Structure 1
Amino acid sequence: MTALQHKIQSVLDELVDSGAETGLQIAVYQHGTLVVDAVAGIADSATGRRVTPQTPVFSFSSGKVMASLIAHLLVQTGAVGYDTPVVELWPEFGARGKDSVTLRHVLTHSTGLPAMPRNIGPDDLPDWSRVCAAIADAAPRWRPGTKTGYHSFTYGFLVGEVARRATGKPMRQLLHEWVTAPLGIDGDLYFGVPATDLARLARLEDATPHRGAPPDNEAVLAPWERRPTAAMGNSHQTLQADIPSVGTFTARGIAAANAALLSGQLIDAHQLAEATAVAFEGTDQVFGNPVRLALGYPLGRLGARADEGSTAFGWVGGGGSYVYADTATGISFAMTKTRLTPHFDTAQRLTNLITTEINPHP
């Protein structure tokens, strides 16, 4: 066991022993080499089954890194460009003033569709055609491309329907054909878990919210869009559906995919530079915070100082999961967890430790 692996394992064990967390996975690649692969705790409190590196965990919005990756691979094929109007592939989407929306707008959360239409609830998400028809008919909250606001669940359907129209294939199939099969990580990343694999998954549990939880924006997102619950993440209906704003994955698998992205295995250096450059800066219309977005990812590492630059890109997930990669350091980090907390204290502690311990230029 390396010194870094030992330090990370000690922190995970401490978090589980103290009751702060129940089950965790951490994986870190640097320059394509797996340098941390640590787990602790319980995957299923009802049975006592332990977490292993092979245990997939439903992880809410940190799964958006997989949807963004599919978008970049779609561009790589030449089937679509970042500035291609969505209506060229999805004509119905042009309703109510959305004909100017491009894939770039989708990836920068600037389409003006941050919330699901009110006639769509969580039980409707597995119905791909119904959800996409409702989104296509929705009116944008702002002129597309002029503002940004977190597209909680609409994001994955926007990316996914563009991809489906361009290729004729659903996101789960593209993820398999373009990512997991070529990288040899089948069984580690899912949009829609096969019924035969459901027994392998971790089971989520809710934590009691504390006073420090960020306030909800009642005006934009519905309660189910802004407050993830274990019930939703444990639902077989949700788990088996193609809902590419969320995802089920192992920390090792998602970190491996981002490591391959950094190394040039999936897209070339020119496209990586374009995909990870600043593409939109502004105030998030959902949460009110300032944001800097690349194409498909917020920029900056969780907890990093403003003067540390924006070479890191990734997604946090409701409940505390976190996935990021950094073009400057070559680090690809992923953390999954079974307890849904209203904060990111664990992720920030571990990423701070890793960036302190790892020499970025070995």
Structure 2
Amino acid sequence: MAEPVTIMSALQQEIQSVLDELVDRGAEAGLQVAVYHHGALVADAVAGVADARTGRRVTSQTLFFSFSTGKAMTSMIAHLLVGRGVIGYDTPLVDVWPEFGAHGKEKATLRHVLTHSVGVPAMPRCIGPADLCDWPRVCSAIAGAEPQWRPGTETGYHSFTYGFVVGEVARRATGKTMRQLLREWITVPLGIDGELYFGVPSTELPRLARLEDAAPPPVTAPDGAILAPWEMQPSAALGNSPQILSADIPSVGTFTARGIAAMNAAALNGQLINTPQLEGLTTVAFEGTDRVFGNHVRLGLGCPLGRLGAPPTEPSTAFGWVGGGGSYVYADPAGSVSFAMTKTRLTPHFDTAQRLADVTAAGTVEDRHRDGLPGG
């Protein structure tokens, strides 16, 4: 695991000021932010407490369970499967996972999975939160599920099913679990072992931040809702569960902001994926109305496109994931920026993420102007 660093950049100071202000006025309890710019760590800021019960402070090494932002790691492994020749984007999943072809899913491909168009957005109703730790049970249920639409024809957010489908394809094709592939293909080669996890080792659990709910109104599934309430609404109880934290559940993830920002920075500079694959991440692979939430979406291969809260005039080469409760990671090859923010308080909005992403975008553009670099 990387040693602590001291950063004195203007962006570091501005981000630190925002974090301190948010904690001081009680809007947030504990946060981490990391930013890479042109492959260099230019901001590594923390504020507040990691555990309100003990007063333990957040550090750059504190691990955070961060819900769907973990899909950034899952998507990267999917691209590495293709880059290493294990499977193709348009390979039928049944070539490696024959059972998945049940009920008309036989033409589903990895491309459909990466664009949330494979047609199984919700866990089968026989699966609840406690079952997420039972990999064979979950994968068997998903394989046997009837799709909501013909694969590739529509899109809808695959909240928890996404990671299990990618993960089972990876396991069938390589013989290895997602936690193994994450370590062997990403964290060890990049020198960030101990900073990204699908399933946290018991020895590392004391490093975790403790999540807290911001007391949003209870979520009840409306008539006709595709996702169950537990799939729609993150909860501190789920994110603090030792069983969940220790399980390989690659639709969510545990990491430091610095670790996941480093992974995306490595993708931008060619260490992890090649140029055509980066173009696949940054160009529209599916655009339409999300069947789950009803909003218009633009998806690259593996991530939504566009920076959170960006004005319409801003180039949309950015890709990333928000996580239930307010975490956020994104990367943008246009500015060579990789950003990550994790936090303890689960809010029903992304106000903090958007504010810090705006600060980062403005600060890195100023750096480019000051340094005389193009594209700012």
Q: How does 1:1-362 map to 2 (within 5 A)?
A: 1-209=8-216, 219-359=225-365, 361=368, 362=373
d(CA) in 2 for partners of 1:224, 1:299: 26
Could you say if the C-alpha distance between residues 214 and 126 of structure 1 is closer, same or farther in structure 2, counting changes exceeding 3 Å?
Answer: closer
Per-residue CA deviation, residues 328-347 of structure 1 (Å, 9 max, x unaligned), is 11000000000000000000
Contact 2:68 2:321 in 1 (8 A): yes
Q: Letter of the 1:330 partner, please give it.
A: S
Per-residue CA deviation, residues 201-221 of structure 1 (Å, 9 max, x unaligned), is 0000000227xx999655111
Give the drift of 1:273: 1.1
d(CA) in 2 for partners of 1:52, 1:275: 31
d(CA) in 2 for partners of 1:4, 1:275: 26
Per-residue CA deviation, residues 151-198 of structure 1 (Å, 9 max, x unaligned), is 000000010001001100000000000000000101100000001110
Contact 1:217 1:286 in 2 (8 A): no
d(CA) in 1 for partners of 2:253, 2:222: 24
Out of 269-278 and 339-348, give the one that drifted further. Answer: 269-278
Number of aligned positions between the proteins: 360
Contact 1:278 1:293 in 2 (8 A): yes
Q: Letter of the 1:75 partner, please give it.
A: V
Runs of 5+ consecutive residues of structure 1 not aligned to the other structure: none
Runs of 4 or more above 3 Å deviation: 213-218
Give the drift of 1:275: 3.1
Could you say if the C-alpha distance between residues 126 and 172 of structure 1 is closer, same or farther in structure 2, counting changes exceeding 3 Å?
Answer: same
TM-score (norm 2): 0.94
Per-residue CA deviation, residues 212-271 of structure 1 (Å, 9 max, x unaligned), is x99965511111100010000000000000000000000000000000000000111122
d(CA) in 2 for partners of 1:252, 1:215: 35
Q: Letter of the 2:85 partner, please give it.
A: G
d(CA) in 2 for partners of 1:235, 1:62: 18
Contact 1:16 1:23 in 2 (8 A): yes
Contact 2:281 2:319 in 1 (8 A): no
d(CA) in 1 for partners of 2:357, 2:221: 26
Give the drift of 1:274: 2.3
How many percent of aligned residue pairs carry the same amino acid? 72
